[in-house]
Amino acid sequence: MAGQSTMHEQIRQLRENGFVVVPKFIGPDALAKLNEAARAQLVARVQPLEFEADLQYPGAPSSRTAAGGETVRRLLDAYGREPAFAQWGTASFVRDWMETYFGEDSLMSRAHHNCLMTKHPLYGSLTGWHRDIRYWSFEREDLVSAWFALGEEEVDNGGLWFVPGSHRMEFEADRFDEAKFFRADRADNAEIIRTAESPRLAPGDAVFFHCNTLHSAGKNLGDAVKFSLVYTYHGRSNAPKAGTRSTSKPEVELR
Ligand SMILES: O=C(O)CCC(=O)C(=O)O
């Protein structure tokens, strides 16, 4: 596990680039158990589930009844569905990291992410350029997600791409489409997208990223399902706005 100086350097990188790889976050034994639990839950199709067909991203089946229509995209509520998933989302390293980053007690939101994401070789969709802040309504646009790779993640199996520094960029609303995807068809946006990087993640690595960092992911061109555990955190003073989806589930205190 990282020492204090490593954590401060990671936080510096997140502030500068909008994302940072936290290597070897989960050790081999714990990783084996997480993978076993993840696969068992996918096979048993334990609810609540979100399907590729529900979102209709490029490459997704056209409906739940079309070929591949039952392909799962997310096993929702990772925190509630399996104690080992909850344990890693609330690990003391994550708590210390988030408290140092936010400068105050921190909480996990259960309103979005909080899931085991799967990307299937067949029928797994690609995700266009976006900022995750589109999923939430908080007092301030300052949340951090932690994405834990349960297996290898690289360009060819649908690994994440990030635009370094994009969390600090300001854009007029028309740079995004109606669903708040960053429009790749615009020359000014394309120039920014060209600077993107896709960090290769080894099994057990994590990548932490800011809610305003532009990111995307391709299709899984491999032959195995990719599994990732994803959670999001914020500081106590940055409250979810009343009456929005962000208050729809009780949050998790990290301390
Ligand atoms: O794995 C993917 O397709 C990207 C997921 C993502 O960026 C998201 O759910 O916000």
Q: 121-135, pLDDT tens digit by residue?
A: 989 889 999 999 999
Residue 201 CA to ligand 1 centre (angstroms): 15
Average pLDDT over residues 172-199: 97
Gap from CA of 73 to ligand 1 centroid (Å) = 9
With 90 as the cut, is the pLDDT of residue 247 above it? Answer: yes
Burial category of 167 from C-beta neighbours within 10 Å (exposed 0-12, middle 13-18, buried 19 and up): buried
DSSP 124-170: PPPEEEE-GGGG--BSSS--EEEEEESS-B-GGGT-EEE-TTGGG--
For ligand 1, atom 9, name the residue with the nearest CA. Answer: 113
pLDDT higher than threshold 80 for residue 1:
no
User: What is the pLDDT averaged over residues 177-199?
Assistant: 97
* Band of residue 28 on the pLDDT scale cut at 50, 70, 90: very high
Check: CB of residue 56 under 8 Å from CB of residue 179: no
Residue 159 neighbours by CB distance under 10 Å: 21
Omega into 250 within 30° of 0, i.e. cis? no
Ligand 1 and 113: CB distance under 6 A: no
Does 114 have pLDDT greater than 90? yes
> Is 145 in contact with 167 (CB distance < 8 Å)?
no
N- to C-terminal Cα separation, the chain:
19
Structure tokens at 165: 């520094």
Rounded to an integer, the average pLDDT of 33-50 is 97
Quick one: what percent of the chain has pLDDT higher than 70? 98
Class of domain 4-253: mainly beta
So what's the pLDDT on residue 166? 98
- 2: pLDDT strictly greater than 90: no
Mean pLDDT, the chain, as a whole number?
A: 96
Reported confidence tier of residue 197, pLDDT bands at 50, 70, 90: very high
Q: What are the start-end ranges of the H helices in 175-230?
A: 187-193
- What's the predicted TM-score (pTM) here? 0.96
Q: Is the CB of 217 under 6 A from ligand 1?
A: yes
- pLDDT value at 59 more than 90: no
Instruction: Name the residue of 50, 212, 215 whose CB sits within 8 Å of the most ligand 1 atoms, as the mutation to test its pocket.
Output: 215
Q: Is 52 in the pocket of ligand 1 (CB under 6 A)?
A: no
